[in-house]
């Protein structure tokens, strides 16, 4: 009688804990990528992954909290995904990010029965570029080599690197196609570039520009009587000073601020939905459910031992 009661108790314990575990496991998961931070760009997508193991219709809302906001608020329209979930993007623009400071973002998913929010990601926005370098000079030290000297601005640590651009035309674009050197350096520092030219019979023109760690560019300094196009403006360098300060937004040059849509979603890639679904199911045995999972295993083992002994006793 005691053995039978123990067996019934073990079986009831198993189904009780199993029911609790599977009832507690959410059928919906939402993950949000970490965008580049800091950044001087206020227009960028944030990729999310929202999956429902019950193959339900999933909708996602994007939320933000800016440096002057007291609470989170939705931005953009509610996004409808395919049945079972999919990847999507929270589209950030100047109406969402419009002042210097830290912004927080999360995505909330709904499959009709559950509301699940992703973890919060933060982005530091700073569109104030570093100071323009000074003391520019250029010397032809060999028949095919120039030495460019300058001093970075005393801008309180905003300068983190300087880029050198070169062309054999007096009008050119300062971008990845004309960039010939990059040097990491701080503010208020004397520095130089030594640059070899591809054709010793040509005359080459140089300009340089400082950047901060958010990708914002300074004004341009370099050879006189050249016209330089950047991502923000077309500028002619002043003959007397050899420098020009750009007006308008001091945003990135060329391809410096290209977002990679395949960045990890909270440390994972977003190009494999199956991997995300498997990772979601594996979460059953992660820290939050570890104790319950252990109890289930114990109950299963106890039930197995009981029924084995019952079978042996019946054989005798």
pLDDT in tens, 78-102: 999 989 999 999 999 999 999 999 9
Q: Does 227 map to a domain?
A: yes
pLDDT at 287: 46
Sign of CA dihedral 187, 191, 196, 197: positive
User: Does residue 54 contact residue 4 with C-beta atoms inside 8 Å?
Assistant: no
**Residues with pLDDT less than 50, the chain:** 5-6, 8-9, 17-18, 20-23, 238-241, 244-288
User: Does residue 215 contact residue 41 with C-beta atoms inside 8 Å?
Assistant: yes
Q: Does 293 map to a domain?
A: no
User: Per-residue pLDDT tens for 211-268?
Assistant: 999 999 999 999 988 999 876 555 555 433 455 444 333 333 333 333 333 333 333 3
CA angle 20, 21, 27 (to 5 degrees): 110
Regarding whether 231 and 140 lie in a shared domain, the answer is yes
Regarding whether 138 and 123 lie in a shared domain, the answer is no
Going by the DSSP 8-state scheme, the letter that residue 306 receives in this structure is: H
Q: Does 304 map to a domain?
A: no
User: Rounded to 10 degrees, what is the CA torsion of 267, 269, 274, 275?
Assistant: -40
- DSSP reduced 3-state for 8: helix
Q: Does 70 map to a domain?
A: yes
Annotate 115-169 with DSSP letters as a single string. Answer: EEEPPPEEEEE---PPPPPEEEEEEEEETTEEEEEEE---STT---EEEEEEESS
Query: Structural domain tally of the chain?
Result: 2
The Cα 55–Cα 276 span in angstroms is 14
User: Rounded to 10 degrees, what is the CA torsion of 209, 185, 213, 131?
Assistant: -50
Taking each continuous run of H as one helix and of E as one strand, the counts in the chain are 3, 19
Regarding whether 215 and 176 lie in a shared domain, the answer is yes
Q: Does 19 map to a domain?
A: no
Residue numbers of the domain that contains 57: 27-127+275-285
Specify the CATH number for the domain of residue 215: 2.60.40.10
The Cα 64–Cα 97 span in angstroms is 9
Regarding whether 281 and 181 lie in a shared domain, the answer is no
Place of tokens 């977003």: 270
pLDDT at 88: 96
User: Does residue 90 contact residue 72 with C-beta atoms inside 8 Å?
Assistant: no
pLDDT at 311: 61
The Cα 263–Cα 103 span in angstroms is 19
pLDDT at 250: 36
Regarding whether 173 and 100 lie in a shared domain, the answer is no
Task: Give the residue from 40, 90, 34, 37 showing the smallest Cα distance to 60.
Answer: 90
Cβ contacts of 93 within 8 Å, gap of 6 or more: 42, 43
Q: Does 256 map to a domain?
A: no
User: Does residue 129 contact residue 156 with C-beta atoms inside 8 Å?
Assistant: no
- DSSP reduced 3-state for 91: strand
């Amino acid at each position: 009688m005691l053995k039978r009661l123990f067996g019934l108790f073990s079986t009831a314990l198993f189904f009780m804990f199993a029911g609790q575990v599977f009832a507690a496991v959410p059928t919906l998961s939402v993950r949000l990528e970490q965008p580049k931070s800091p950044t001087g760009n206020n227009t960028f997508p944030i990729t999310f992954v929202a999956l429902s193991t019950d193959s339900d219709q999933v909708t996602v809302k994007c939320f933000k909290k800016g440096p002057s906001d007291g609470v989170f608020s939705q931005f953009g329209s509610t996004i409808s995904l395919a049945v079972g979930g999919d990847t999507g993007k929270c589209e950030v623009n100047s109406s969402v990010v419009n002042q210097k400071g830290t912004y927080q973002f999360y995505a909330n998913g709904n499959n009709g029965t559950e509301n699940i929010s992703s973890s919060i990601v933060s982005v530091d926005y700073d569109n104030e570029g570093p100071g323009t370098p000074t003391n520019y000079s250029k010397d032809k030290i060999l028949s095919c080599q120039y030495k460019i000297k300058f001093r970075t601005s005393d801008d309180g640590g905003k300068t983190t690197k300087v880029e050198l651009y070169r062309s054999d035309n007096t009008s050119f674009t300062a971008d990845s196609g004309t960039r010939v050197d990059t040097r990491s350096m701080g503010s208020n520092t004397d520095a130089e570039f030594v640059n070899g030219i591809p054709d010793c019979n040509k005359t080459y023109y140089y300009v340089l520009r400082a950047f901060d760690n958010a990708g914002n560019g300074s004004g341009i300094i370099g050879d006189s009587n050249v016209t330089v196009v950047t991502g923000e403006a077309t500028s002619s360098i002043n003959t007397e000073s050899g420098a020009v300060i750009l007006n308008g937004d001091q945003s990135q040059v060329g391809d410096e601020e290209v977002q990679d849509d395949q960045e990890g979603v909270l440390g994972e890639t977003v190009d494999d939905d199956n991997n995300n679904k498997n990772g979601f199911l594996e979460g059953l045995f992660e820290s939050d459910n570890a104790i319950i999972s252990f109890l289930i295993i114990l109950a299963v083992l106890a039930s197995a031992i009981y029924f084995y002994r019952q079978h042996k006793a019946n054989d005798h």
